[in-house]
Amino acid sequence: MLDLTISATDGMARTGAITIRSGIIDTPAFMPVGTQASVKSLTPEEVRATGAQIILNNAYHLYLRPGVELVEQLGGVHRFQAWDGGILTDSGGYQIFSLSALHKVSEEGLAFKSHIDGSEHFMSPEKAIEVQQRLGTDILMSFDQPIPWGASRHETHEATQRTHRWAQRGKDAWNPAVGQALFGIVQGGFAEDLRRESAQTLTALDFPGYSIGGLSVGEPKEVMWQMLEVVTPVLPANKPRYLMGVGTPSDLVRGIRLGVDMFDCVLPTRMGRNGTAFTWAGRLNLRNAQFATDAGPLDAVCTCAVCQTFSRAYLRHLLKAGEILAIRSLSYHNLAFYQQLMARIRTEITAGSFLAWADTFLKSYKE
């Protein structure tokens, strides 16, 4: 079950809502990353309090630990992690390539060793869908073969064509009657013609939604935007567009300006764990000595509980002392900031002022 309603547009940017079986997701939307069924350091109630309506889990990690059987036995991933909002799962193709000792890429799928214990596994497009459906998530991803920056055209073409064949096989294995939506993943590396071909091929397969993969993998930012400019106009206007693994606040603004509806990224929580806060004025590194006596909040504009409660000086003290509350507070604030950014963007699109606002934001925001 998935339905996209567009309520307003400004250029290619659009705002509206995606209806899934777990509820309604306002778009554009940012999904906090809960790789192993947990958004690091935060409770489900805290994640919800930041404004998040949907989170991302990773099927590769949950398949290896604790295992699909256990999650299924305990009532599915929503009940398992006590999260009643939306859940999207990545199929695991990227993680198999980046984390595991890869054995073999074949037409049938990927043979690999677990990065946890070295055990041997095999993942096919059909099994990737089965795993995600058994986990009980709301939005599933097709199984794809990611293409690294620097790959040859021949390698890129072969991997992209395999991704298309795997997409068809995964779609054939998917059971839409359960109510879970399936997204195809656009690949094509960094060649405009292959990117366009991939978007066209997947569009012809008529998925409920479309992910744009294989970007933000080491390529220059201008190349990423060039590829996105090629892809988004090809994808159906009545289906969600999801840019995977991106990114900074400026990345989100640029992606939305090019017609993207959904994003995920580990950056807000990862940077929070490293002592960095995102604010409307840019990044703020609390480890800097200048904040040692600063009685102000992380961000005077932010309405989150951290900014309403703690000073920069106190949070810096917690960081220097190695207190867990520092990590939790900065992670919470950063996720709340991202959700406030999305809400502001939705307001600007509705008012027809987003393009002008985006220009101002991108010129002034310090990353």
Q: Cα torsion at 168, 215, 199, 345 (round to 10°)? A: 120
- 245 CB-near residues (< 8 Å, 6+ apart): 94, 215, 216, 264, 265
Give the Cα separation of 241 and 235 in Å (integer).
Answer: 8
DSSP character string of 125-190? HHHHHHHHHHHT-SEEE-------TT--HHHHHHHHHHHHHHHHHHHHH--GGGS-EEEEEE--TT
Number of H helices, E strands in the chain: 14, 16
- From the candidates 90, 138, 251, 261, give the one annotated as an active-site residue: 90
Provide the strand spans (E) within the chain. 2-10, 13-20, 23-27, 29-31, 54-58, 86-90, 101-105, 110-113, 120-123, 139-141, 181-186, 209-212, 241-243, 262-264, 276-279, 282-285
Helix (H, G, I), strand (E, B) or coil at 266: coil
User: Does the active-site annotation cover 90?
Assistant: yes
CB atoms under 10 Å from CB of 309, counted, come to 11
Considering the candidates 10, 261, 264, 299, report the single residue annotated as catalytic. Answer: 264
Angle between helices 153-173 and 125-135 (to 10 degrees): 50
Residue showing tokens 């998040």 = 52
**Residue 73 burial (CB < 10 Å; 0-12/13-18/19+)?**
exposed
Spatial separation of the C-alpha atoms in residues 286 and 294, rounded to whole Å: 10
| Catalytic site positions | 90, 264
